[in-house]
Amino acid sequence: MVYDTAYYVRVTRGLQQAAEESRGETDPERALSHITRIAGEVLGDPDASRRPGAFEPDERDMKVSGIFFAAPDRDHLVLLADHGFPPEQRHLRISIMDSNPGYVVRTGEPKIVPNTDHDHMFRKILSTARMGSAVYVPMLWQRQVLGMFNIAAQARNTYKETDLRMGMLFGNLASATWIALGGPRFLVELTNSLPRWNPA
């Protein structure tokens, strides 16, 4: 499937809306929450869930989004500005060596996984469901990888290379917003308030 003009109109309008809604916030996580929510709404093939092979039995049409930031010690990642994750996974922490999120933060390389069944690095992180298609965008500022902007859908083949390129625009907006609102300081305060990180 090749995306048509309507896709690019939807995505660019979404990017504009994300910028407008996030710039009125003073809290960095709330600002990024607008960006992750809208990226999850506008990126991807809206017809993917209706195609044969999109779902395994008991799966459904659902999407998640959020940003895994590298903790100050850069030994683990902390989930912020998430949508679709259950409440008990708010500020979820995973090792910086863990699966695709860790790979993208360590290397700064973006990654697209149209079908997670065929990706050996994929690991189910969402406690309530396994995602079938995912986009992993590095959050970059100057020469540092701040974290990883993620959108995922349970329907296989929801995302492709075009979504990765468009996703980079949302990632760039999120990075600039994070820095402008003092996100690194916010992250230090947040991680200090959480229990000590223990990968075991």
pLDDT digits (tens, 9 = 90+) for 23-38: 999 999 999 999 999 9
Q: Residue range 140-167: average pLDDT?
A: 96
pLDDT of 58: 82
Least confident of 15-24, 96-105, 188-197: 188-197
Q: Residue range 83-100: average pLDDT?
A: 95
pLDDT of 2: 67
Angle at the Cα of 41 from the Cα atoms of 103 and 63, rounded to 5 degrees: 55
CA dist., res. 44 & res. 47, Å (int): 9
Are 93 and 82 a contacting pair, CB within 8 Å? no
The answer regarding whether domain 5-193 maps to CATH 3.30.450.40 reads: yes
Report the run of H or E that residue 136 belongs to, with start and end: strand 133-141
Q: How many C-beta neighbours within 10 Å does residue 55 have? A: 16
Band of pLDDT at residue 107, cut at 50, 70 and 90 = very high
Between residues 4 and 144, which one has the greater pLDDT?
144
Least confident of 22-36, 134-148, 186-200: 186-200
Domain spans, the chain: 5-193
* Closest to 105 measured CA to CA, from 150, 155, 70, 60: 70
